[in-house]
Structure 1
Amino acid sequence: MPVKGIKRVQLNMGSVIGNITGPVTEKVITEVMIVGSGYAAQITPIHTSTLVNSMYRELKPEPRGMTGRVGYTANYAARVNAAGGTLKGKPRPDGSGNYWDPDAEPDFLRKGFERDGIADIKATIKRGYKL
Protein backbone atom coordinates (compact mmCIF):
# COMPACT_ATOMS: atom_id res chain seq x y z
CA MET A 1 0.00 0.00 0.00
CA PRO A 2 1.65 3.29 -1.10
CA VAL A 3 2.00 6.18 1.35
CA LYS A 4 0.27 9.38 0.23
CA GLY A 5 1.08 12.97 1.14
CA ILE A 6 4.86 12.68 1.55
CA LYS A 7 5.51 15.62 -0.77
CA ARG A 8 3.04 17.81 1.14
CA VAL A 9 4.65 16.88 4.49
CA GLN A 10 8.09 17.79 3.10
CA LEU A 11 6.81 21.17 1.90
CA ASN A 12 5.11 21.89 5.22
CA MET A 13 8.24 20.87 7.12
CA GLY A 14 10.29 23.35 5.10
CA SER A 15 7.77 26.08 5.87
CA VAL A 16 7.82 25.32 9.60
CA ILE A 17 11.63 25.28 9.72
CA GLY A 18 11.79 28.54 7.77
CA ASN A 19 9.38 30.15 10.25
CA ILE A 20 11.40 28.92 13.24
CA THR A 21 14.73 30.12 11.86
CA GLY A 22 13.29 33.52 10.95
CA PRO A 23 10.52 35.40 12.73
CA VAL A 24 10.15 32.98 15.65
CA THR A 25 13.84 33.16 16.53
CA GLU A 26 13.82 36.94 16.15
CA LYS A 27 10.88 37.18 18.57
CA VAL A 28 12.44 34.77 21.09
CA ILE A 29 15.81 36.56 21.12
CA THR A 30 14.08 39.93 21.55
CA GLU A 31 12.03 38.60 24.47
CA VAL A 32 15.16 37.12 26.08
CA MET A 33 16.93 40.48 25.78
CA ILE A 34 13.95 42.26 27.35
CA VAL A 35 13.77 39.80 30.27
CA GLY A 36 17.53 39.79 30.95
CA SER A 37 17.91 43.54 30.63
CA GLY A 38 15.00 44.02 33.04
CA TYR A 39 16.80 41.97 35.67
CA ALA A 40 20.06 43.79 34.96
CA ALA A 41 18.36 47.18 35.33
CA GLN A 42 17.22 46.23 38.85
CA ILE A 43 20.84 45.89 40.02
CA THR A 44 22.38 48.66 37.89
CA PRO A 45 23.81 51.57 39.92
CA ILE A 46 21.45 54.54 39.76
CA HIS A 47 23.40 57.53 41.07
CA THR A 48 22.15 59.89 38.35
CA SER A 49 20.11 57.45 36.18
CA THR A 50 22.40 58.16 33.22
CA LEU A 51 23.75 54.61 33.17
CA VAL A 52 20.45 52.75 33.39
CA ASN A 53 18.85 55.10 30.87
CA SER A 54 21.64 54.46 28.37
CA MET A 55 20.75 50.74 28.05
CA TYR A 56 20.14 49.49 24.50
CA ARG A 57 19.16 46.26 22.75
CA GLU A 58 20.36 45.25 19.30
CA LEU A 59 19.22 42.33 17.16
CA LYS A 60 21.57 41.59 14.29
CA PRO A 61 21.19 38.96 11.54
CA GLU A 62 24.24 36.76 11.10
CA PRO A 63 25.11 34.32 8.29
CA ARG A 64 24.02 31.38 10.46
CA GLY A 65 21.28 32.96 12.58
CA MET A 66 20.81 36.03 14.73
CA THR A 67 22.70 37.70 17.54
CA GLY A 68 21.11 39.70 20.34
CA ARG A 69 23.17 42.25 22.21
CA VAL A 70 22.36 44.32 25.29
CA GLY A 71 24.65 47.09 26.49
CA TYR A 72 24.97 50.65 27.71
CA THR A 73 25.96 53.69 25.67
CA ALA A 74 27.29 55.66 28.65
CA ASN A 75 31.06 55.93 28.18
CA TYR A 76 31.79 54.72 31.72
CA ALA A 77 29.45 51.70 31.69
CA ALA A 78 32.14 49.06 31.13
CA ARG A 79 34.24 50.38 34.00
CA VAL A 80 31.28 50.43 36.41
CA ASN A 81 30.16 46.94 35.34
CA ALA A 82 33.71 45.59 35.86
CA ALA A 83 34.26 47.41 39.18
CA GLY A 84 34.96 45.23 42.18
CA GLY A 85 32.36 46.82 44.43
CA THR A 86 34.91 47.44 47.18
CA LEU A 87 33.25 50.79 47.99
CA LYS A 88 29.75 49.23 48.35
CA GLY A 89 27.93 50.89 51.23
CA LYS A 90 30.56 53.59 51.81
CA PRO A 91 29.43 57.24 51.56
CA ARG A 92 30.15 59.25 48.45
CA PRO A 93 32.47 62.26 48.90
CA ASP A 94 29.78 64.68 47.66
CA GLY A 95 27.29 63.44 50.29
CA SER A 96 24.82 62.14 47.69
CA GLY A 97 24.36 58.71 49.26
CA ASN A 98 26.47 55.58 49.33
CA TYR A 99 28.29 53.74 46.56
CA TRP A 100 26.29 50.91 44.96
CA ASP A 101 23.13 51.75 46.94
CA PRO A 102 20.47 50.63 47.38
CA ASP A 103 20.43 47.36 45.37
CA ALA A 104 23.23 47.79 42.83
CA GLU A 105 25.90 45.13 42.32
CA PRO A 106 29.12 44.87 40.32
CA ASP A 107 28.91 42.78 37.13
CA PHE A 108 25.21 43.70 36.92
CA LEU A 109 24.76 43.00 33.22
CA ARG A 110 25.99 39.40 33.38
CA LYS A 111 24.15 38.74 36.63
CA GLY A 112 20.88 40.01 35.14
CA PHE A 113 21.05 37.36 32.43
CA GLU A 114 22.97 34.47 34.00
CA ARG A 115 21.95 34.61 37.66
CA ASP A 116 18.74 36.52 38.35
CA GLY A 117 16.86 36.09 35.09
CA ILE A 118 17.93 32.59 34.06
CA ALA A 119 14.68 30.84 35.07
CA ASP A 120 12.52 33.40 33.22
CA ILE A 121 14.84 33.30 30.21
CA LYS A 122 14.59 29.51 29.99
CA ALA A 123 10.80 29.73 30.26
CA THR A 124 10.73 32.39 27.53
CA ILE A 125 12.78 30.21 25.18
CA LYS A 126 10.66 27.13 25.91
CA ARG A 127 7.43 29.07 25.35
CA GLY A 128 8.75 30.77 22.20
CA TYR A 129 9.75 27.55 20.45
CA LYS A 130 6.69 25.54 21.45
CA LEU A 131 5.04 24.17 18.33
Structure 2
Amino acid sequence: MPTRGGRQVRRNFSRAVKLIAGPLTDQVVTEILIIGEGYAVNLTPVDTSNLVNSRFRQITNTATGTVGVVGYTAAYAAAVHGGGPKNWQKAAAEDRFLERGFERDGRADIEAHITRSYRV
Protein backbone atom coordinates (compact mmCIF):
# COMPACT_ATOMS: atom_id res chain seq x y z
CA MET A 1 0.00 0.00 0.00
CA PRO A 2 1.54 3.33 -1.03
CA THR A 3 2.15 6.04 1.55
CA ARG A 4 0.45 9.37 1.01
CA GLY A 5 1.49 12.86 2.13
CA GLY A 6 5.26 12.27 2.18
CA ARG A 7 5.99 15.41 0.20
CA GLN A 8 3.87 17.53 2.53
CA VAL A 9 5.60 16.08 5.61
CA ARG A 10 9.04 16.86 4.15
CA ARG A 11 7.94 20.40 3.25
CA ASN A 12 6.49 21.08 6.71
CA PHE A 13 9.58 19.61 8.37
CA SER A 14 11.82 21.87 6.29
CA ARG A 15 9.73 24.90 7.28
CA ALA A 16 9.96 23.98 10.96
CA VAL A 17 13.74 23.53 10.79
CA LYS A 18 14.18 26.89 9.02
CA LEU A 19 12.02 28.60 11.64
CA ILE A 20 13.92 27.03 14.53
CA ALA A 21 17.31 27.73 12.97
CA GLY A 22 16.43 31.33 12.22
CA PRO A 23 14.08 33.84 13.77
CA LEU A 24 12.58 31.61 16.47
CA THR A 25 15.94 30.88 18.10
CA ASP A 26 16.97 34.53 17.92
CA GLN A 27 13.72 35.47 19.65
CA VAL A 28 14.08 32.75 22.30
CA VAL A 29 17.69 33.73 23.08
CA THR A 30 16.69 37.40 23.36
CA GLU A 31 13.90 36.52 25.78
CA ILE A 32 16.25 34.30 27.82
CA LEU A 33 18.66 37.22 28.12
CA ILE A 34 15.83 39.49 29.25
CA ILE A 35 14.67 36.99 31.88
CA GLY A 36 18.16 36.41 33.30
CA GLU A 37 19.01 40.08 33.14
CA GLY A 38 15.85 40.89 35.09
CA TYR A 39 16.94 38.63 37.93
CA ALA A 40 20.50 39.99 37.82
CA VAL A 41 19.30 43.60 38.12
CA ASN A 42 17.82 42.80 41.53
CA LEU A 43 21.27 41.62 42.67
CA THR A 44 23.27 44.42 41.02
CA PRO A 45 24.90 46.80 43.48
CA VAL A 46 23.63 50.33 43.14
CA ASP A 47 26.08 53.01 44.24
CA THR A 48 25.12 55.19 41.32
CA SER A 49 22.88 54.15 38.47
CA ASN A 50 25.91 54.00 36.16
CA LEU A 51 26.38 50.23 36.46
CA VAL A 52 22.71 49.36 35.90
CA ASN A 53 22.43 51.80 33.00
CA SER A 54 25.52 50.43 31.27
CA ARG A 55 23.92 47.02 30.53
CA PHE A 56 23.92 45.62 27.02
CA ARG A 57 22.60 42.53 25.20
CA GLN A 58 24.21 41.04 22.12
CA ILE A 59 23.12 38.07 20.01
CA THR A 60 25.49 36.48 17.53
CA ASN A 61 24.72 33.68 15.09
CA THR A 62 27.72 31.40 14.62
CA ALA A 63 28.30 28.25 12.63
CA THR A 64 27.62 26.15 15.73
CA GLY A 65 24.58 28.02 17.04
CA THR A 66 23.26 31.24 18.50
CA VAL A 67 25.17 32.95 21.30
CA GLY A 68 23.67 35.55 23.62
CA VAL A 69 25.74 37.86 25.81
CA VAL A 70 24.68 40.20 28.59
CA GLY A 71 27.27 42.54 30.01
CA TYR A 72 28.10 45.93 31.41
CA THR A 73 30.14 48.62 29.70
CA ALA A 74 31.05 50.46 32.90
CA ALA A 75 34.81 50.23 33.49
CA TYR A 76 34.44 48.97 37.05
CA ALA A 77 31.82 46.28 36.34
CA ALA A 78 34.30 43.38 36.29
CA ALA A 79 35.76 44.38 39.65
CA VAL A 80 32.32 44.65 41.25
CA HIS A 81 31.13 41.38 39.72
CA GLY A 82 34.15 39.53 41.09
CA GLY A 83 33.56 40.71 44.66
CA GLY A 84 34.77 44.29 44.60
CA PRO A 85 34.17 46.97 47.20
CA LYS A 86 31.53 46.19 49.80
CA ASN A 87 30.59 49.82 50.45
CA TRP A 88 27.74 49.88 47.92
CA GLN A 89 24.47 51.50 48.94
CA LYS A 90 22.38 48.45 48.15
CA ALA A 91 22.73 45.99 51.03
CA ALA A 92 21.53 43.04 48.93
CA ALA A 93 24.44 43.31 46.48
CA GLU A 94 26.02 39.92 45.84
CA ASP A 95 29.26 38.80 44.28
CA ARG A 96 28.90 37.36 40.77
CA PHE A 97 25.43 38.92 40.51
CA LEU A 98 25.17 38.42 36.75
CA GLU A 99 25.87 34.68 36.91
CA ARG A 100 23.46 34.23 39.80
CA GLY A 101 20.70 36.00 37.93
CA PHE A 102 20.89 33.40 35.19
CA GLU A 103 22.02 30.24 36.97
CA ARG A 104 20.44 30.38 40.40
CA ASP A 105 17.43 32.68 40.46
CA GLY A 106 16.23 32.65 36.85
CA ARG A 107 17.06 29.08 35.89
CA ALA A 108 13.55 27.65 36.39
CA ASP A 109 11.93 30.48 34.41
CA ILE A 110 14.50 30.16 31.62
CA GLU A 111 14.00 26.39 31.33
CA ALA A 112 10.21 26.81 31.30
CA HIS A 113 10.49 29.46 28.60
CA ILE A 114 12.65 27.22 26.39
CA THR A 115 10.20 24.34 26.78
CA ARG A 116 7.25 26.60 25.98
CA SER A 117 8.93 28.23 22.99
CA TYR A 118 10.07 25.07 21.21
CA ARG A 119 6.89 23.09 21.77
CA VAL A 120 5.71 21.49 18.55
Q: TM-score, normalised by structure 2?
A: 0.93
Deviation digits for residues 34-86 of structure 1 (CA, Å, limit 9, x no counterpart): 0000100100000001001101100111112211000000011011100167x
Shift of 1:130: 1.2
Residue 114 (1) aligns with residue 103 (2): yes
Deviation digits for residues 4-55 of structure 1 (CA, Å, limit 9, x no counterpart): 1112211111111111111111111000000000100100000001001101
Shift of 1:101: 2.4
Q: Does structure 1 retain, via aligned residues, the 8 Å contact 2:46–2:88? A: no
> 1:91 — aligned with what?
none
1:128 to 100, 114, 117: 117
Q: TM-score, normalised by structure 1?
A: 0.86
Q: Which moved more, 1:3-12 or 1:33-42?
A: 3-12
Q: Which of the pair has more CA radius of gyration? A: 1
Residue 21 (1) aligns with residue 21 (2): yes
Shift of 1:99: 3.1
Q: Unaligned regions of 5+ residues in structure 2, if any? A: none
Q: CA RMSD in A?
A: 1.4
> 1:11 — aligned with what?
11
Identity %: 47
Q: Does structure 1 retain, via aligned residues, the 8 Å contact 2:58–2:70? A: yes
Amino acid at match of 2:6: I
